[in-house]
């Protein structure tokens, strides 16, 4: 089976940096994904890691350690519009994509 | 439009009734996923199609739930004898290749909000 853990809520200040952690256990692994979901909207893709290391895309970076079953999403230069839920998701060998419960990030001025 | 389309956007029904939710994926996308999401939770996997066949239906909660994709494009999620606990937002997503490869991007529709009274 698969199990994904991430914090339920986080708060950070505008302009700061925040790191959202995700740990996972899976019987097969074909990549880890981060999605952003604003309240009342559909999730949108942020990043994909299949190999160990850091993937950087603008203000957002994502890190993966397959041996530790660990990933994090790093958000730099936080803006108010970054207030959203951040979903960690793991893909199995069959293509099934399982999501964690999501981390609600609140950015304060 | 070019995105994933889901209908209806809102559905209110009574306990025990039958419901159909439709998903029209992005043209050419071979993979199609159904999820349901309750308030404050992440999307819960229901079923995944690769073409016309269900590649993985292990997330369907019980035999009241069934989904089809007869021509490899539009999919319908069918719920029989609805219960109050079925109330949720049902999300559909499509991907150009199976297994969310190579970029892993799933394109989500806006969802169908189901309320069972």
Cβ <8 Å between A45 and B55: no
Q: Give the tokens for residue A76.
A: 């730099």
| C-alpha of B59 from chain center | 11
Q: What percent of chain B has pLDDT over 90?
A: 78
- Which position has the token pair 């256990």? A25
Binary contact (A97, B45; C-beta < 8 A):
yes
Residue of chain B whose alpha carbon sits nearest to that of A6 = B42
pLDDT category of residue A95 using cuts at 50, 70 and 90: confident
The Cα–Cα gap between B112 and B104 comes to: 23
What mean pLDDT value characterizes chain B?
Answer: 91
The DSSP bridge pattern shows strands A103-108 and A9-13 to be parallel
Question: Other C-beta atoms within 10 Å of B71: how many?
Answer: 9
Give the chain B residue nearest A29 (alpha carbons). B99
Q: B9, B29, B43, B56: which to substitute to probe chain A, counting the most A Cβ within 10 Å?
A: B43
Chain A residues near residue B107 by CB distance under 8 angstroms = 45
Region B53-64: mean pLDDT is: 93
Confidence category of residue A92, pLDDT binned at 50, 70, 90: confident
Q: Would you give the DSSP letter of residue A15?
A: T
A38 touches chain B (CB under 8 A): no
Q: How far apart are CA B60 and CA A52, in angstroms?
A: 32
Q: Which token pair is B105?
A: 């991007």
Task: Taking residues A63-86, report their average pLDDT.
Answer: 97
Q: How confident is the model at residue A10 (pLDDT cuts 50, 70, 90)?
A: very high
% pLDDT > 70, chain A: 99
Q: Test A99 with B58 for CB contact under 8 angstroms.
A: no
């Amino acid at each position: 089976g698969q199990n994904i853990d991430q914090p339920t809520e986080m708060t950070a200040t505008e302009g700061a940096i925040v790191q959202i952690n995700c740990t996972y256990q899976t019987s097969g692994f074909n990549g880890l994904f981060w999605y952003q979901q604003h309240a009342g909207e559909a999730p949108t893709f942020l990043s994909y890691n299949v190999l160990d290391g850091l993937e950087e895309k603008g203000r957002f970076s994502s890190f993966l350690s397959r041996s530790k079953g660990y990933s994090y999403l790093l958000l730099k230069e936080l803006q108010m519009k970054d207030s959203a839920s951040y979903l960690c998701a793991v893909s199995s060998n069959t293509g099934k994509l399982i999501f964690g419960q999501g981390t609600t990030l609140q950015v304060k001025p | 439009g070019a995105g994933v389309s889901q209908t209806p956007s809102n559905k209110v029904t009574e306990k025990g009734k039958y419901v159909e939710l439709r998903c029209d994926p992005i043209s050419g996308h071979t993979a199609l996923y159904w999820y349901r999401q309750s308030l404050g939770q992440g999307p819960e996997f229901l079923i995944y199609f690769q073409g016309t066949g269900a590649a993985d239906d292990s997330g369907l909660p019980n035999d009241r739930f069934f989904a089809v994709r007869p021509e490899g494009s539009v999919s319908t999620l069918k719920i029989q004898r609805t219960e109050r606990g079925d109330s949720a937002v049902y999300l559909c997503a499509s991907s150009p290749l199976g297994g969310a490869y190579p970029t892993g991007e799933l394109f989500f529709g806006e969802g169908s909000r189901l309320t069972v009274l």
